[in-house]
Amino acid sequence: MSALERAVDRAKAGNARVVFPEMEEPRIAEAVAQMQAEGLCVPVELAEADDELVAALVDARGMKEALARRMLSRPLYRAAAMVAAGQADAMLAGVVHSTKKVIEAASIAIGLADGVALPSSFFLMRFSDGRELIFSDCGLNVAPDAEELAAIARASETTGRALLGQARVALLSFSTGSSGSGGSVDKVRAAAAATGFTGPVQGDAALNPAVAALKGSGQGDANVLIFPDLDAGNIAYKLAQELAGAQAIGPVLQGFRKPVCDLSRGATVPDIIAATAVTLALA
């Protein structure tokens, strides 16, 4: 059974309530109708800005009531507050709104999980040969330093275990082991040392056992790939889509108290359904 099939089964068993603040978008509306018919989730309507939502921002986030009411006039903040208040179990948005706006709403209304200092994102990449990999971070952190890269790797390991059953993490670079130097590779080397994950390692050595043996780094069987910056991650996942026909599910956000998914602007109806299942599987 694939990771996506397991995620779908978990989502159906969980009967989770999901708020979609972009229901006016035809793709969202069609996806929600299909998911409701298939029992994948329980869609909940966007609530009015009631006292419970105001309290979620005032009490949990330390916000002034007047400011909370102003923020709740925006659909994204209202949806995030519904999750914070327990009126919904998860939120999915991003087909209409930018990543920045989705992150801001989730950060302010929901907040980060205990022990998490940095939110990040991942894609579940599905290839035609049956391979499924986690790509991170391809949608949020532009230029993480070594400490931030280590945090992304740790969060992605947790995601990998939840979705793939086990996580074999590789921190990617243009250099493998001690063969190269420079700011980028030194950053990756420091993050690898802090986490104990394989790295720095080139993409071929991370994925190909024969190359890994030649270069003496890892086993060549990584299933969680951590990119050194957003340039590398975003380019890699889009090339995998266009050249290898891979399905990119996400970006799903990591590190928040409750599940949040920042959908791609170009997400299709099947993409939205798959992203919902994956998001709920992490709940």
**pLDDT tens per residue, range 243-281:** 999 999 988 999 899 999 999 888 899 999 999 999 999
Mean predicted confidence (pLDDT) in 83-102: 93
Q: Name every residue whose Cβ is closer than 8 Å to that of residue 112 and which is 6 or more positions away in sequence.
A: 118, 119, 255, 256, 257
Mean predicted confidence (pLDDT) in 198-214: 94
Contact predicate 41/115, CB 8 Å: no
Categorize the per-residue pLDDT at 58 as very low, low, confident or very high, splitting at 50, 70 and 90: confident
Of all residues in the chain, the percent with pLDDT exceeding 70 is 99
Q: Residue 158's domain is classified under what CATH number?
A: 3.40.50.10750
Please state, in angstroms and rounded to a whole number, the distance separating the CA atoms of residues 57 and 52.
Answer: 9
- Is 166 in the same domain as 46? no
Q: Residue 41's domain is classified under what CATH number?
A: 3.40.50.10950
Phi then psi for residue 254, to 5 deg, are -120, 145
Residue 135 pLDDT: 98
Nearest CA among 97, 113, 88 for reference residue 253: 113
- Is 129 in the same domain as 245? yes
pLDDT digits (tens, 9 = 90+) for 127-172: 999 999 999 999 899 999 999 999 999 999 999 999 999 999 999 9
Mean predicted confidence (pLDDT) in 45-70: 86
Structural domain harbouring 161: 117-254
The rounded mean pLDDT for the chain is: 92
- Is 125 in the same domain as 88? no
Residue 217 pLDDT: 82
**Residues 148/153/154/159 CA torsion (nearest 10 deg):** 130
Please state, in angstroms and rounded to a whole number, the distance separating the CA atoms of residues 72 and 177.
Answer: 50
Residue 63 pLDDT: 78
Categorize the per-residue pLDDT at 218 as very low, low, confident or very high, splitting at 50, 70 and 90: confident
Residue 57 pLDDT: 86
Residue 216 pLDDT: 83
- Is 226 in the same domain as 160? yes
Mean predicted confidence (pLDDT) in 212-241: 94
- Is 105 in the same domain as 2? yes
pLDDT beyond 70 at 180? no
- Is 242 in the same domain as 278? no
- Is 247 in the same domain as 260? no
> Where are the strands (E) in the chain, listed by range?
17-19, 42-44, 90-93, 120-126, 132-136, 169-172, 198-201, 224-226, 247-254, 260-262
Instruction: Say which amino acid occupies 171.
Output: L
Contact predicate 263/93, CB 8 Å: yes
Residue 92 pLDDT: 95
Higher pLDDT, 50 or 188: 188
pLDDT beyond 80 at 221? yes
Categorize the per-residue pLDDT at 56 as very low, low, confident or very high, splitting at 50, 70 and 90: confident
Residue 177 pLDDT: 80
Nearest CA among 42, 131, 126, 77 for reference residue 260: 77
pLDDT beyond 80 at 94? yes
Categorize the per-residue pLDDT at 21 as very low, low, confident or very high, splitting at 50, 70 and 90: very high
Residue 253 pLDDT: 92
- Is 122 in the same domain as 228? yes
- Is 232 in the same domain as 281? no
- Is 205 in the same domain as 139? yes
Residue 114 pLDDT: 86
Rg of the chain taking only CA atoms, in angstroms: 19
Residue 181 pLDDT: 72
The number of distinct structural domains making up the chain is: 2
- Is 166 in the same domain as 138? yes
- Is 72 in the same domain as 121? no
10 Å CB burial of residue 1 (0-12, 13-18, 19+) is: exposed
Provide the whole-model pTM: 0.89
Contact predicate 170/198, CB 8 Å: yes
